[in-house]
Amino acid sequence: MRPEILNPLFAEVDTLDGVGPKLRKPLEKLHCTRLRDLVYHWPDRFVTRRPVDNLDEAGEGEQIIIALTVTEHRAGASRRAPYRVLATDSAGNVLALTFFGRASYTAKKQLPVGEKRRVAGKLERYGDMLQMVHPDHVMAMDDAGLGQMREPIYPLAEGLTQPRMASLAAQALGKLPDLPEWIEPGMLAREKWPTWGDALHSVHARDDQTAKDRLAYDELLANALALQLVRADSRRKRGRALAGDGSLRGKLQLPYSLTGAQERSIREIEGDLAQDAPMLRLLQGDVGAGKTVVALHAMLIAVEAGAQAALLAPTEILARQHFETLREMARPTGVEVALLTGRDKGRARESILMGLMDGSIQIVVGTHAIFQEAVQYRDLGLVVVDEQHRFGVSQRLQMSAKGKRPPHTLSMTATPIPRTLTLANYGEMEVSRLDELPPGRQAIDTRVVGMDRLPEVVEAVGRHLASGQQAYWVCPMVRDEDGSEDKAAAEQRYAALKARFDDDVVLVHGQLDPALKDAGMARFASGEAKLLVATTVIEVGVDVPASTLIVIERAESFGLAQLHQLRGRVGRGSGKSVCLLLRGEQLSETGRRRLALMRETQDGFRIAEEDLELRGGGELLGTRQSGDTPFRIATLDQMQRLLDPATDDAKLLMDRDAGLEGERGEAARILLYLHERDAGVRTLRGG
């Protein structure tokens, strides 16, 4: 239950003066629905205005404050035309105060002809005329309110003005409670950080990096502490030790030797499974590093110990791919592997449900269908979650509830995650890294080609297909909605390539009917179709060793990590593979660096770190995703500087006061609720 001292901050914005239904809408767009949101909605920048006696003292583009006498109002020829108010300064220079739309009604009231007003805004030139478009302030000469030379500039939504936002922020800041200090005193003194309340007042008044760092640290500490609490809660739960005897793993007949990284990860997982406390481990693997084999070893350990295992995949395509791979690898062991998706109906589904209930099915692979209410397990001991960032916490908890005791959990991701984000997002988990590729994997020849050479690329694809090989062609979007020719759309590209290569081409994208999508993938996987045109739906899990060429159109529009994943669809067999990155004519500097790095390296972990630098934590996978970084306040730079000390501090606090019952522990509870990490508090008794 939230501490009472925080109630004023979690009050709705409607409790502030001047906020009604009309103003609430733009505030909702800014995610400012409570006073807490307003105090953490900081100015982007600050404008310092210089008071001048006349326009001769000011330069174009400068922010000024000046006294003017209104001489004339000029309405536009149409409703859309600007409304201009002409005024003169003390030297007789003319300035046009320009207004558009409804603002003209305000101008008529604020600027009567013959009156003197003080005006603040940016001085600009329009043709031969000096002007100020939509002055920030128009005030009477005796009004002392314009004495503030520095003004915060807040991010706004339509319907809000800077003065109104500043007023709301000031009202919210006036209601700040006096909170106890949660930061360790030594750190506070060493960094010379202000108190929480002083820091918030400061960031709204000036560009104060010290105050911003303190508030970012608060958020990082809250997140780290919440993850530590979840981890401690997991370790307190009594699960079930799964100790395999090696009888099933010894029967595997893999055509290759495991890498050192695979063997190390399997040992780490085996050690976790042997404990009573449920395993919480993240397996990070670069493209083609062999996560599936490691997952199979983990599942066979569970089966050797008399339990069942389940692998949860985010899409049906990926679930079927895993099922085929695991069933083939596990064939020599005699272990029964089944597939369950939402499309399975009738007797086939009933048979699988019975097999899971009586234990004759030892490993099940599927989508979210495997944790639906009707699915019961005889003894579920291990859950493997693939591409775990695509699942919500509630979905993973539903799966965990299927065991008699909390099952062990192995999460996997094919996207190498920078260390900073691993700590921020998965700090409650142990981490295993597959940072070696299996022997014999050849480097992929990566080339950057301009779109002006598209006809040559199509001819090259034709020669590739004629030689009996297969290829992918990836586009960033499904269809061209607005008729713009400079966008690359899968449906249009498919039509053009089908006209050239006929039935050798199939199309797969996320908006297709699942049956059509599966049929297209099946034709390509069997070799019946030679060219697969697709969107990023093939980013993970598609494994066709005979495909040795991938063309990625408008490559500059993808993130680095996403390009790396797509490139990983080839190079899966023994033949030499090629990746062609088709770029547009106009490349940004970021786009240029991104494509150059793709040519330079195939190390996914290095690419992930570079991607984080180029895009920032919120866009790790190429498009902004809320799950990439859990922070609203902390920037990437602050995460890199402050996350380690925040994590160390959280561990120290847990070591000293695991129940958060001491003086600093109570303050830390308030911090967790303040930053809405209260799920961590609920793991404590009496939280």
Q: Please give the pLDDT value at position 456.
A: 95
Q: What is the pLDDT of residues 199-238, one digit of tens each?
A: 999 999 999 999 999 999 999 999 889 888 877 877 777 7
Query: 628 falls in which pLDDT band (50, 70, 90)?
Result: very low
Q: What percent of the chain has pLDDT over 70?
A: 89
Please report, in angstroms and rounded to a whole number, the separation of the first and last CA atoms in the chain. 7
Most confident of 33-37, 275-279, 554-558, 604-608: 33-37
Neighbouring C-beta atoms of residue 426, cutoff 10 Å? 20
* Token duo for residue 296: 């199979």
Upper half-sphere CA count for residue 599 (Cβ side, 13 Å): 14
- Report the C-alpha gap between 116 and 107 in whole angstroms: 14
Handedness of CA 218, 223, 229, 235 (dihedral sign): negative
The 3-state DSSP class for residue 601 equals: coil
Pairs from 82-87 (Cβ < 8 Å, separation ≥ 24)? 83/107, 84/131, 85/111, 87/111, 87/117, 87/119
pTM: 0.65
Residue-wise burial string across 498-522, b where 16 or more C-beta atoms lie within 10 A, e elsewhere: beebeebbbbbbeebeeeebbebbe
pLDDT at 624 over 60: no
The 3-state DSSP class for residue 4 equals: helix
Query: 626 falls in which pLDDT band (50, 70, 90)?
Result: very low
Residues linked to residue 278 through DSSP beta bridges, in sequence order: none
- Name the residue among 540, 537, 533, 581 with its Cα closest to residue 557: 581
Residue-wise burial string across 590-604, b where 16 or more C-beta atoms lie within 10 A, e elsewhere: ebeebbebbeeebeb
Q: What is the pLDDT of residues 480-491, one digit of tens each?
A: 655 554 457 889
- Report the C-alpha gap between 398 and 169 in whole angstroms: 41
Q: How many residues does the chain have?
A: 687
- Report the C-alpha gap between 598 and 602 in whole angstroms: 7
- Name the residue among 387, 337, 386 with its Cα closest to residue 364: 337
| Torsion (CA) 670, 675, 679, 685 in degrees, nearest 10 | -10
Q: What is the pLDDT of residues 147-192, one digit of tens each?
A: 556 889 999 988 888 889 999 999 999 999 999 999 999 999 999 9
Residue 320, φ and ψ in degrees, nearest 5:
-65, -40
Query: 635 falls in which pLDDT band (50, 70, 90)?
Result: confident
Residue 425 sits at the vertex; the CA angle it makes with 423 and 426, to the nearest 5 degrees, is 70
* Token duo for residue 574: 């023994």
Q: Please give the pLDDT value at position 399.
A: 65
Upper half-sphere CA count for residue 269 (Cβ side, 13 Å): 33
Mean pLDDT across 360-364: 96
- Name the residue among 622, 461, 459, 452 with its Cα closest to residue 532: 461
User: Based on C-alpha coordinates, what's the Rg of the chain?
Assistant: 31
For tokens 């993970």, what's the residue?
A: 540
Query: Mean pLDDT, the chain, as a whole number?
Result: 86
Q: By the 8 A CB rule, do 550 and 272 touch?
A: no
Residues linked to residue 153 through DSSP beta bridges, in sequence order: 45
pLDDT at 622 over 80: no
- Report the C-alpha gap between 591 and 573 in whole angstroms: 30
Within 237-392, where are the H helices? 260-273, 291-304, 316-330, 346-358
Could you give the strand order of the β-sheet that contains 505-508, starting from the edge strand earlier in sequence? Answer: 445-450, 578-583, 547-553, 470-474, 531-534, 505-508
Q: By the 8 A CB rule, do 567 and 444 touch?
A: yes
Give the relative orientation of helices 419-426 and 209-236 as an angle to the nearest 10 degrees.
Answer: 60
Mean pLDDT across 631-644: 86
Pairing verdict, β 363-366 and 308-312:
parallel
- Report the C-alpha gap between 420 and 428 in whole angstroms: 14
- Report the C-alpha gap between 81 and 77 in whole angstroms: 6
DSSP 8-state class, residue 439? T
Q: What is the pLDDT of residues 184-204, one digit of tens each?
A: 999 999 999 999 999 999 999
The burial of 112, by beta-carbon neighbours within 10 Å (0-12 exposed, 13-18 middle, 19 or more buried), is given as: exposed
Pairing verdict, β 63-74 and 116-122:
antiparallel
- Report the C-alpha gap between 238 and 276 in whole angstroms: 6
pLDDT at 574 over 80: no
Q: By the 8 A CB rule, do 476 and 558 touch?
A: yes
Q: By the 8 A CB rule, do 432 and 269 touch?
A: yes
The DSSP annotation for 555-582 comes to GGGS-HHHHHHHHTTSS-SSS--EEEEE
Mean pLDDT across 46-74: 92
The 3-state DSSP class for residue 173 equals: helix
Within 41-176, where are the H helices? 103-110, 162-173
* Token duo for residue 670: 């308030």
The DSSP annotation for 467-510 comes to TT-EEEEE-SBS--SS--TTS-BHHHHHHHHHHHHGGGEEEE-T
Upper half-sphere CA count for residue 227 (Cβ side, 13 Å): 24
Neighbouring C-beta atoms of residue 237, cutoff 10 Å? 12
Neighbouring C-beta atoms of residue 588, cutoff 10 Å? 9
pLDDT at 71 over 90: yes
- Report the C-alpha gap between 508 and 526 in whole angstroms: 15
pLDDT at 437 over 90: no
* Token duo for residue 489: 């759309």
DSSP 8-state class, residue 434? E
Query: Which amino acid, 530?
Result: K
CA distances for 638 relative to 107, 192, 219, 227, 428, angstroms: 44, 16, 11, 19, 21
Query: 539 falls in which pLDDT band (50, 70, 90)?
Result: low
* Token duo for residue 353: 């449900």
Q: By the 8 A CB rule, do 200 and 178 touch?
A: no
Query: 440 falls in which pLDDT band (50, 70, 90)?
Result: low
